[in-house]
Chain A
Amino acid sequence: NAGVMQNPRHLVRRRGQEARLRCSPMKGHSHVYWYRQLPEEGLKFMVYLQKENIIDESGMPKERFSAEFPKEGPSILRIQQVVRGDSAAYFCASSSTSGDTGTDTQYFGPGTRLTVL
C-alpha cells in the first residue's frame, strides 16, 4: 500500500523558468493538500484540493502559483517564472475524508526540494 508519492524529489530551476511538482495521493484518498517549508521556517498551508475542485487556496501566493487535481492523474503544483525566494521544500499530503469529523489524519509525502539558481 504505497504512501503519498511526490516527484521529483529534487528540482533545480533557473530564475524565470517554470517548476512543476507532482503528487499522487494514497490509494483511496480524494483530498490533497500542499504545504511549503521555507528555509528556517515552519510548514505553511498553501492549497486544499479535491478532484477537479480547489476547496481552499488561501495560502497560495496571488501570482505565479497555481494548483490542480484533475479527474485522472496526480495533483500538480505549478510555479511560473520562479524566483530565488521560491526555493523551499514543498510537501503534499492526502486524506480520505474532509476531516470535519476530527478523525482524519493527513499523510505526507517525502517532499520536493526546489532550488532556484
Chain B
Amino acid sequence: KQEVTQIPAALSVPEGENLVLNCSFTDSAIYNLQWFRQDPGKGLTSLLLIQSSQREQTSGRLNASLDKSSGRSTLYIAASQPGDSATYLCAVNRYGNKLVFGAGTILRVKS
C-alpha cells in the first residue's frame, strides 16, 4: 500500500528565505508525482508534475526534484514571498490514475 509522508508538517519563515519541502513515498513504482498548492477554503492548484523518468521540473521560483529509487521528492521555493503562504501537497500516481496524497506542509511566510 502506497503511503506518502510530508515533512515538516508546518513551516514559518521570514520573507526572502529559500526553503525546501520534503515528500517521501513507500512504493517506488510510480508514474508521476505532483506538487499542489491549497489555499484555505479553496481548491488545489497544480504546481509541478514530474514524470517517473524525470529528475526535476522547474517553474519560476519553484523547483521540484524526484529520486524514485529512494522514494523522495523535494519542492524548493526560492526567495519566498508572503503570497506563497498556503498548504503544499505532494501526491503520487502509482497506477490507475489514483492519486495518493500526503498530509501536506502548512507554509507561512512572514513579511
Chain A residues in contact with chain B, CB under 8 A? 4, 31, 33, 35, 41-45, 48, 55-56, 58-59, 91, 93, 95, 98-111, 113
Whether B101 lies near A44 (C-beta < 8 A) is yes
Complex CA distance for A103 and B93, rounded to whole angstroms: 10
Known contacts A42-B104, A43-B101, A91-B43; is A108 also within 8 Å of B96 by CB? no
A98 to B97, CA, bound (A): 7
Establish whether residues A106 and B43, one from each chain, have CB atoms under 8 Å apart when the complex forms: no
Q: Smallest CB-CB separation from B46: which chain A residue? A: A105
User: A106 to B103, Cβ gap below 8 A?
Assistant: no
Q: Kindly state the interface size class of chain B when it binds its partner.
A: 20 to 34
Question: B101, A106: Cβ atoms under 8 Å?
Answer: no
Would A106 and B31 be within 8 Å (CB), given that A42-B102, A43-B89, A111-B43 are in contact?
A: no
Nearest B residue to A92, CB-CB = B43
Give the contacting residue for A99; candidates B31, B36, B45, B100; CB below 8 A: B31
Max chain B Cβ within 10 angstroms of own Cβ: one of A35, A43, A93, A109: A43
A102 and B44 form a contact (CB under 8 A)? no
Q: Are A106 and B97 in contact (CB under 8 A)?
A: yes
A103→B34 CA distance, assembly (Å):
10
What 1/0 mask marks residues of chain B from 5 to 45 whose CB sits below 8 Å from any chain A CB? Answer: 00000000000000000000000000110101000011111
- Contact yes or no, A102 B53, CB < 8 A: yes
Q: Is B75 an interface residue (CB 8 A)?
A: no
Q: Which residues of B sit under 8 angstroms from A111, Cβ to Cβ?
A: 42-43
Beta-carbon contact of B32 and A33 below 8 Å: no
Task: With A108-B43, A108-B46, A109-B43 as known contacts, state yes or no: A33 contacts B103, CB within 8 Å.
Answer: no
The interface centre, meaning the residue of A100, A102, A107 with most chain B CB atoms within 10 A of its CB, is A102
Query: Which positions 41-98 of chain B face chain A at CB distance < 8 Å?
Result: 41-46, 49, 51-53, 89, 91, 93, 95-98
Q: How far is the CB of B25 from chain A (nearest CB, A)?
A: 13
